[in-house]
Amino acid sequence: MHSPSYNPRWPRKKTYSIIVGLAIASILLIFAYRSPSISLRGIVSTSSDDPYSPHAKATYTKPTHLSSSKTSTQNPSSSSVFDIPAGLYELIEPHFHSITAQNFTSRTGKVFQLPKAARFTKPLGKQILIMDVESRDISGPGGLLDDSAPKTGDMQGLTLGRLNHYMFAMLHGYDYQLVQLPEDPTLHGTWNKVPAMREAIKHYEYVVFLDGDAIFTHLHLPLEWLLNYWGITNDTTMALAEDPNDPFFLNVKKLNINLNTGFVIAHQTPKSEEFFDAWMTCPDEHRYPGCAMWKLTHTHEQAVVNEYLRYDYPEQLHILPCNEANRYMNSGDCEGEFIGHYWPYKEELPGGVKEVMDQYFWPPLQKGYSHDRDHIVKSMKGPKDP
Ligand SMILES: *[C@@H]1O[C@H](CO)[C@@H](O)[C@H](O)[C@H]1NC(C)=O
Ligand SMILES: *[C@@H]1O[C@H](CO)[C@@H](O)[C@H](O)[C@H]1NC(C)=O
């Protein structure tokens, strides 16, 4: 198991031992945390009139569910509001990484350094949308909208993946939406991210789209730090990762390494509307003859980026390293350090999502155990000792 760097904010003293911590958490859980916090209104359907509320330039406030002054106001429409138990967030909050920190040590122990002074110094809050898109039924057994409250082991991998996105957004005060689009038989399902992003980028400064099998590997690392680290500029309309450097993943036209659309940071720029229009309308063949084949042929909308858009909009595209925002096991150079995208190994997705949570739980617990050794470890003579 990978252990995160020791955080000095994690309790050191005996008074913060596990038992006391658990007691406080229980008391908080029972008495203090009754404020309505997480709204499922974030889940929108494109069939409604305006799925995107007008986007105001947000001044960041700590999300109410992380606020320490927990009020007990009763929400009259509390049936549509779900209280996430406080401890879920408090487990991760002590590990929060600064947006402007020079270094970040990943789960694998690798140190990543900001290449230059941080461009983003303040939280962007609701200017960022974390977005999932789905056309399939997610109300079935183990699905995201399964009302029967599935057990962990029964949850679909894609459900766990989306919960990772949702939690990341809630922790850092970003907006979150799952956009549901009807299935279009003339287009392969993976196309649905394009109209969803095209619409959302009109309302948000940044739209981060992830496939259900792509996850944030460090929930405590804010997106703003990654924007700093990756050097996302005012001109970047879309950032996305390369596939592994393998002949199998070259595009057709110029034999460049493919770019993968499973994780996309879209940025609102003067060019974004044109860019997403060009993407969406490519199969009409007005601008790009031959593009219609990508409606249903693998790799669909991703092929449009790789065969056409990257050559017409080179300034708009920012290419991220496979090692940092994609994942291809055992390739040596595509470990998914910040975004783990489990496209070739979907069966490992549930384990990957759970491992993300493990890093906040077991290492601090072990540290507490080790710290309390004087009280809980008893040395005893062996039965054969004199
Ligand atoms: C960041 O990492 C580099 C290389 O490991 C190290 O030299 C430097 O001291 C670190 N800076 C901070 C502020 O920790
Ligand atoms: C980028 O955009 C911001 C806000 O629109 C502006 O303040 C800043 O000067 C721009 N930076 C560059 C390098 O153009």
12, part of any domain: no
29, part of any domain: no
194 Cα–ligand 1 center, Å: 39
Q: pLDDT digits over 322-366, tens only?
A: 999 999 887 778 999 999 999 888 899 999 999 999 999 999 999
Which residue's C-alpha comes closest to atom 8 of ligand 1? 103
101 Cα–ligand 1 center, Å: 10
239 Cα–ligand 1 center, Å: 27
Please list every protein residue whose CB sits less than 6 Å from any atom of ligand 1: 102-103, 111, 113
328, part of any domain: yes
Share of the chain above pLDDT 70, in %: 76
- CA angle in degrees (0–180, nearest 5) for 252-302-164: 140
Specify the pLDDT at position 140. 94
Most trustworthy range by pLDDT among 24-38, 73-87, 257-271? 257-271
CA distance 334 to 324: 7
130, part of any domain: yes
Residue among 7, 100, 103 to mutate when testing ligand 1 (max atoms within 8 A of CB): 103
Which residue's C-alpha comes closest to atom 1 of ligand 1? 103
Comparison of pLDDT for 64 and 204, the residue scoring more: 204
Q: Measure CA of the first residue to CA of the last residue in the chain; give whole Å.
A: 40
Using alpha carbons, list the distances in angstroms from residue 116 to 37, 120, 279: 37, 11, 32
196, part of any domain: yes
Whole-model pTM: value is: 0.80
- CA angle in degrees (0–180, nearest 5) for 191-144-39: 100
Q: Residue 189: how many CB atoms within 10 A of its CB?
A: 14
Domain CATH number, residue 94: 3.90.550.10
Q: pLDDT digits over 35-89, tens only?
A: 333 333 345 544 444 444 433 333 333 445 454 433 333 333 333 334 567 788 8
The ligand whose atoms approach the alpha carbon of 101 most closely is 1
Residues 160/354, Cβ–Cβ less than 8 Å: yes
Specify the pLDDT at position 85. 72
- 264 pLDDT higher than 70: yes
Listed in sequence order, the DSSP H helices in 28-144 are: 86-90
- Write out the residue range of the structural domain in which residue 292 sits: 82-371
The ligand whose atoms approach the alpha carbon of 100 most closely is 1
CA distance 106 to 218: 8
151, part of any domain: yes
> Which atom of ligand 1 is closest in space to residue 102's alpha carbon?
13
> Which atom of ligand 1 is closest in space to residue 103's alpha carbon?
1
Q: What are the backbone dihedrals phi and psi of residue 103, each rounded to the nearest 5 degrees, phi first?
A: -120, 155
Q: pLDDT digits over 283-328, tens only?
A: 999 999 999 999 999 999 999 999 999 999 999 999 999 999 999 8
103 Cα–ligand 1 center, Å: 6
Alpha-carbon Rg for the chain in angstroms: 23
Specify the pLDDT at position 22. 55
Number of domains present in the structure of the chain: 1
Which residue's C-alpha comes closest to atom 9 of ligand 1? 103
Which residue's C-alpha comes closest to atom 14 of ligand 1? 103
228 Cα–ligand 2 center, Å: 14
The ligand whose atoms approach the alpha carbon of 105 most closely is 1
Query: By mean pLDDT, which of 63-67, 111-115, 129-133, 190-194 is the weakest?
Result: 63-67
Which residue's C-alpha comes closest to atom 6 of ligand 1? 103
10, part of any domain: no
Listed in sequence order, the DSSP H helices in 35-112 are: 86-90
Residues 322/333, Cβ–Cβ less than 8 Å: yes
5, part of any domain: no
> Which atom of ligand 1 is closest in space to residue 111's alpha carbon?
5
The ligand whose atoms approach the alpha carbon of 114 most closely is 1
